[in-house]
């Protein structure tokens, strides 16, 4: 009999935000796998839980799940936790869950805090349909292409961002997605918790004063359907033609794939841009 892998959500700031069930499971398992054992030790000490700890990560680094899988195969129960919030959400976990599932090891998620959902709930932006897209690329060119690919989505776009890139990413959102309503949720569940809401320019003006520090989630309201098609297509084409130096034909084909526009529209627009008609 194999053990069970529990994917346990922990607080995103306020230590009260952990469920009774999560505390019980953490107290019962044979092993706790943590993204950063020193960081997690603080939470476990706070909860009066003393368990064997092992470090685990798969995020941007080599997969380190073998030790955990070995314990599970031997019948031990393991809880996976990350530094904050729900494992697997812009945090390690996916590869371990994938491999456990492939081996027929039971996987039980224990729900709890998640910054994306917490921010969405308090944003005041449409919450019936949303896309969580994690962290945008850190380089401007790739970030703009990434945002252009999100332009036609029907619901609110939810992004994580490092605080020092907040201003640049908001600027790209304005350039690529237009002057939409946005909300920035910062330091959620913590002492300086706040939302800054408004158009992208209004929020950027607040951010420029240096008042939005700490961890942030960016939420972008869906765009007007009419604006959605044309603007991002042009942006994507500009990048493919100017930055990536693709031919009109190749740029049109790629832009159509990225934005969902028809190839004919993309080709016509690419020609316009190349001829300088729409620059």
How far apart, in whole angstroms, are the C-alpha atoms of residue 84 and residue 117?
13
Asked if 215 is part of the footprint of ligand SAM (rule: CB under 6 A), the reply reads yes
Listing DSSP states for 146-186 in one string gives HHHHTTT-SSEEEEEE-GGGHHHHHHHHHHHH-S-EEEEEE
To 5 degrees, how large is the angle CA 234–CA 238–CA 239?
A: 120
Q: Report if residue 160 touches ligand SAM, rule: CB under 6 A.
A: yes
- In the list 4, 40, 77, 86, the residue contacting ligand SAM (rule: CB under 6 A) is 86
Q: Is 217 in the site for ligand SAM (CB under 6 A)?
A: yes
x-marked contacts with ligand SAM along 103-142 as a string, rule CB under 6 A: -----------xxx--------------------------
Which residue, 114 or 246, has its beta carbon nearer to ligand SAM?
A: 114
> What is the rounded CA–CA span in Å between residue 33 and residue 53?
6
Q: Is 85 in the site for ligand SAM (CB under 6 A)?
A: yes
Phi, psi of 107 (to 5 degrees): -120, 125
Query: Is 7 among the residues that bind ligand SAM (CB under 6 A)?
Result: no
By CB under 6 A, residue 188 contacts ligand SAM? yes
We find the least distance from the C-beta atom of residue 68 to ligand SAM, in angstroms, to be 18
Binders of ligand SAM: how many residues, by CB under 6 A? 24
Find out whether 141 and 243 touch, Cβ atoms under 8 Å: yes
The residue behind tokens 């990413």 is 169
Segment interacting with ligand SAM, rule: CB under 6 A, options 47-55, 97-105, 147-155, 212-220: 212-220
The full length of the chain comes to 279
Site membership for ligand SAM, residue 186 (CB under 6 A) = yes
């Amino acid at each position: 009999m194999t053990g069970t892998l529990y994917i346990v959500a922990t607080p995103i700031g306020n230590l009260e935000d952990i469920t009774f069930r999560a505390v019980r499971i953490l107290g019962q398992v044979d092993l706790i796998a943590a993204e950063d054992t020193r960081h997690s030790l603080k939470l476990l000490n706070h909860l009066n839980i003393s368990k064997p700890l092992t470090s685990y990560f798969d995020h941007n680094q080599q997969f380190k799940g073998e030790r955990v899988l070995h314990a599970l195969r031997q019948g031990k129960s393991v809880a996976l936790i990350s530094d904050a919030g729900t494992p697997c959400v812009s945090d390690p976990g996916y590869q371990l869950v994938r491999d456990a599932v492939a081996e027929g090891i039971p996987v039980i998620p224990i729900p709890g805090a998640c910054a994306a959902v917490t921010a969405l709930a308090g944003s005041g932006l449409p919450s019936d349909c949303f896309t969580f897209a994690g962290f945008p690329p850190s380089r401007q060119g790739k970030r703009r292409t990434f945002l252009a690919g999100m332009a036609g989505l029907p619901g609110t776009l939810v992004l994580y961002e490092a605080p020092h890139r907040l201003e640049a990413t908001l600027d790209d959102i304005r350039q690529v997605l237009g002057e939409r309503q946005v909300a920035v949720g910062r330091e959620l569940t913590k002492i300086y918790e706040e939302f800054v809401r408004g158009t992208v320019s209004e929020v950027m003006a607040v951010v420029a004063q240096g008042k939005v520090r700490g961890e942030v989630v960016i939420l972008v309201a869906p765009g007007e359907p009419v604006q959605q098609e044309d603007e991002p297509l042009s942006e994507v084409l500009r990048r493919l033609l100017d930055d990536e130096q693709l031919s009109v034909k190749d740029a049109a084909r790629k832009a159509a794939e990225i934005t969902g526009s028809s190839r004919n529209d993309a080709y016509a627009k690419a020609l316009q841009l190349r001829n300088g008609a729409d620059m």
